[in-house]
């Protein structure tokens, strides 16, 4: 009797042990998923909207993207909260643009995070100008050797970080972000590759729309509050005149305002552009003093309910409409 009882008891013990192993294995898988982020998604932190847009478009439902710069916040002078800084250490991937937000650059460095992608390493950056607020001369036909003096922010030979406003350069960054996601999450690499290709196709279409839409214009010069459009100006043969430099909060000198009034007259400028996240006071004053119209040209540093579109593509197309109108496109 004791022997007969021993056999099923041993079998039962083995089954229980096997069950525990199975549960343990399942528990380990769940823990791994939780480490990825909510719902087992890849935990991606993006520095500001243009990086957020790429991560969301390419990552799809396999990623949970947390932006460091909230909607409506001007990104250049962002100050991070301790909680945000702590989040960087736990991220599966950090997508940022070095040189635009000093606080983010320092936090990424201090976090020790290994899985990071800096957008400035994914395309070529250009040094624009020798003094703040000068004349931009660019054009695709010039091989991108234009001279944009509007980005130096008071410094000589400053590198312009606004690469996302050139659809061609932004597509190059998109490809790099896609590869970073593939590396961070190999199980979903095929999906990331497919989504990257889809986004690049959209950006190619946007580039074609700008190239065709701005080919024939009455003037090539536009005045804008914030000197963010140097790459766009070079790509499509335009001339940007920034009231301020790379920092939208910087104040132009009286000499710069006088220079802009002269340029507006000589180049037959019709419109002074302002933007959604920065004050339009100076732009409005310049427009009034020179008898010019005002309109919005969005540098797409953030999306709010005031934006002319719900995402990057829509707002860029709105920018194209505004430019065509202001420049007298035929």
In-domain check, residue 87: no
Reported as a pLDDT band with limits 50, 70 and 90, residue 58 is very high
Radius of gyration from C-alpha coordinates of the chain: 26
Average pLDDT over residues 92-111: 96
In-domain check, residue 232: yes
Answer positive or negative: Cα dihedral of 244, 314, 214, 142: positive
Q: Are 170 and 203 in contact (CB under 8 A)?
A: yes
pLDDT at 125: 95
The per-residue pLDDT for range 132-142, each reduced to its tens digit, is 444 443 444 33
Asked whether residue 81 carries a pLDDT value surpassing 70, the answer given is: yes
pLDDT at 82: 93
Q: How far apart are CA 55 and CA 139, in angstroms?
A: 30
In-domain check, residue 161: yes
135's tokens: 């004349």
In-domain check, residue 296: yes
Asked whether residue 7 carries a pLDDT value surpassing 50, the answer given is: no
pLDDT at 219: 96
Reported as a pLDDT band with limits 50, 70 and 90, residue 152 is very low
pLDDT at 277: 64
Question: Which residues lie closer than 8 Å to 261 by C-beta, 6 or more apart?
Answer: 286, 289, 290
Asked whether residue 172 carries a pLDDT value surpassing 90, the answer given is: yes
Asked whether residue 232 carries a pLDDT value surpassing 50, the answer given is: yes
Asked whether residue 237 carries a pLDDT value surpassing 80, the answer given is: yes
SS3 159: strand
In-domain check, residue 21: no
In-domain check, residue 235: yes
- Of 59-68, 241-250, 289-298, where does mean pLDDT reach its minimum? 241-250
Q: Are 259 and 221 in contact (CB under 8 A)?
A: no
Residue 245, domain extent: 127-330
Residues constituting the chain: 330
Task: Give the residues across from 93 on adjacent strands.
Answer: 44
In-domain check, residue 321: yes
The per-residue pLDDT for range 251-291, each reduced to its tens digit, is 777 888 889 999 999 999 999 998 866 666 777 778 788 88
The per-residue pLDDT for range 180-209, each reduced to its tens digit, is 999 999 999 999 999 999 999 999 999 999
- Of 124-133, 158-167, 254-263, where does mean pLDDT reach its minimum? 124-133
In-domain check, residue 98: no
The per-residue pLDDT for range 16-27, each reduced to its tens digit, is 344 433 333 333
The per-residue pLDDT for range 203-219, each reduced to its tens digit, is 999 999 999 999 999 99
Give the domain CATH number at 213.
3.40.50.1980
In total, how many domains does the chain have?
Answer: 1
Q: Are 133 and 242 in contact (CB under 8 A)?
A: yes
Asked whether residue 3 carries a pLDDT value surpassing 50, the answer given is: no
Q: How far apart are CA 50 and CA 43, in angstroms?
A: 17
Q: Residue 313 class from Cβ within 10 Å (0-12 exposed, 13-18 middle, 19+ buried)? A: middle
């Amino acid at each position: 009797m004791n022997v007969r009882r021993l056999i099923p008891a041993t079998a039962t013990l083995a089954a229980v042990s096997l069950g525990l192993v199975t549960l343990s294995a399942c528990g380990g898988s769940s823990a791994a998923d939780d480490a990825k982020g909510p719902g087992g998604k890849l935990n991606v932190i993006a520095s500001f909207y243009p990086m957020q847009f790429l991560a969301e478009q390419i990552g799809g439902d396999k990623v949970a993207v947390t932006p460091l710069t909230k909607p409506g916040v001007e990104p250049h002078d962002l100050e991070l909260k301790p909680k945000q800084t702590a989040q960087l250490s736990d991220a599966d991937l950090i997508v940022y643009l070095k040189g635009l937000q000093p606080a983010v650059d320092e936090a990424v460095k201090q976090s020790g995070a290994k899985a990071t992608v800096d957008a400035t390493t994914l395309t070529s950056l250009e040094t624009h100008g020798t003094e703040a607020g000068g004349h931009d001369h660019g054009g695709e036909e010039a091989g991108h050797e234009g001279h944009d003096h509007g980005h130096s922010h008071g410094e000589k030979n400053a590198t312009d970080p606004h690469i996302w406003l050139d659809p061609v350069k932004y597509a190059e960054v998109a490809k790099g972000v896609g590869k970073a996601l593939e590396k961070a999450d190999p199980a979903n690499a095929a999906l990331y590759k497919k989504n990257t290709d889809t986004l690049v196709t959209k950006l190619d279409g946007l580039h074609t729309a700008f190239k065709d839409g701005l080919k024939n214009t009455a003037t090539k010069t536009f005045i804008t509050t914030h000197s963010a459009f140097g790459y766009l100006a070079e790509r499509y043969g335009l001339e940007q005149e920034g009231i301020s430099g790379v920092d939208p909060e910087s104040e132009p000198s009286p000499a710069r305002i006088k220079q802009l009034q002269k340029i507006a007259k000589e180049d037959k400028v019709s419109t002074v552009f302002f933007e959604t996240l920065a004050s339009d006071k100076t732009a409005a004053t310049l427009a009034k003093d020179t008898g010019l119209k005002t309109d919005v040209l969005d540098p797409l540093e953030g999306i709010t309910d005031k934006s002319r579109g719900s995402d990057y593509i829509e707002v860029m197309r709105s920018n194209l409409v505004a430019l065509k109108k202001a420049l007298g496109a035929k």
